[in-house]
Amino acid sequence: MAKYRRPNPHFTFLFLTLFAYCFFQGKSSSWLNTEANEVVMVQSRRQDWPKRCDFSVGKWIYDQSYPLYDSNCPYLSTAVTCQRNGRPDSGYEKWKWKPNGCSLPRFDALKFLGKMRRKRIMLVGDSIMRNQWESLVCLVQGVIPTGHKKVTYNGPSMAFHALDFETSIEFSWAPLLVELSKGADNKRVLHLDLIEENARYWRGVDVLVFDSAHWWTHSDQWSSWDYYMEGKSLYKTMNPNIAYQKGLTTWAKWVELNLDPRKSRVIFRTMSPRHNRENGWKCYNQKTPLKIFSHPHVPDQVVVLKGVLRRMGFPVHLHDITTMSAFRRDAHPSVYRRALNQAQRQHAREFSSDCSHWCLPGVPDIWNEMLSAML
């Protein structure tokens, strides 16, 4: 029979101390509890991490209990308050997303604020990320009494503060992530290898949610820059996907050099789909989601993004909303991006149509239900 060996008392004490700490903290580490992460990890070296549910694959279900707030939320931009602007139908507000093989929890404002107590969450990107920020603020603000919340501004950033929770929900404008500046002769220069001018606002944030795609897809006529610059080299033209990859690689290097995965969580939201010229039909007067795609399409920008994330050592969580949102041709502002009176509604087709942003309440609320579940 094997001889009994007394355990090392120092090891026993260390083990019990660590066990007690984890038990009373209620989790194995501050953010990276992989057992609870219902997210899609795209780094190839982490493919063996547990994946309990892929939220990105499922179907839209009509649910009369939605929306979770109304268009009178005071933090909404006029351009997304479709009901206030005269849109006659409201069915687009009543769809929830049902992932295959699991359920997506309904957004719980108090639970979300509890998870984010004494923390900062910042959404970084373009006007569609601003769309999502307004959604998130409206989802939580109803449970906070008047006088216990406020909005502050700092350069390209704005923050909603839930004062009792010491929580801030922030948005930082950086549609290309990398820097865009004016050069000689007032020409606009996109610096593919510079980011600090934007990134200085991201430091010290507990949860960073990024997106950057739409501005990279603008054609020459609508482009926001005249030249690309990398190092000291200036380029008039460049393959858009190569430029996007270079810009994302600069972002990835900044993340790995400046953030600590034990203190900061990083999420990258995929491209929000548009239902306009590229798809051959408009979003105006659409009242129901698409039921099926004849030719499902993954945008090049999503392919490039996944490639960059795979090469990163820092654990970045992919928030994939592209395909699920592509079903929702019915949920854009279209002509109701502005207030239309009764007479104007009779000639609505004479007005420009926004098939890129989303009515609120609407689809970004579901993105935020997914975001809350990921946290």
Rounded distance between C-alpha atoms, residue 42 and residue 311, angstroms: 9
Contacts of 122 (CB under 8 A, 6+ apart): 157, 170, 171, 172, 201, 202, 205, 207, 208, 209
Q: Is the dihedral of CA 258, 264, 270, 276 positive or negative?
A: negative
Q: Is 357 a catalytic residue?
A: yes
Structural tokens at position 42 = 């795209």
- Side by side, which strands form the sheet with 179-182? 179-182, 188-191, 227-230, 233-235
Neighbours of 33 (CB within 10 A): 11
Q: How many helices (H) and strands (E) would you count in the chain?
A: 9, 14
What 8-state DSSP symbol labels residue 356?
S
Q: What is the DSSP string of 84-149?
A: TTT-S--GGGGEEEEETTS-PPPP-HHHHHHHTTT-EEEEEESHHHHHHHHHHHHHHHTTS-TTSE
Rounded distance between C-alpha atoms, residue 270 and residue 320, angstroms: 5
Q: Is 224 a catalytic residue?
A: no
296 preceded by cis ω (within 30°)? no
Indicate which residue of 354, 356, 365, 372 is catalytic: 354
Place of tokens 């009494």: 145
Contacts of 16 (CB under 8 A, 6+ apart): none
Report the run of H or E that residue 290 belongs to, with start and end.
Answer: none
Work out whether strand 233-235 and strand 227-230 pair parallel, antiparallel, or are unpaired.
antiparallel
Burial class (CB in 10 A: 0-12, 13-18, 19+), 310: middle
Indicate which residue of 30, 127, 157, 223 is catalytic: 127
Neighbours of 71 (CB within 10 A): 20
What amino acid positions are annotated as catalytic residues? 127, 354, 357
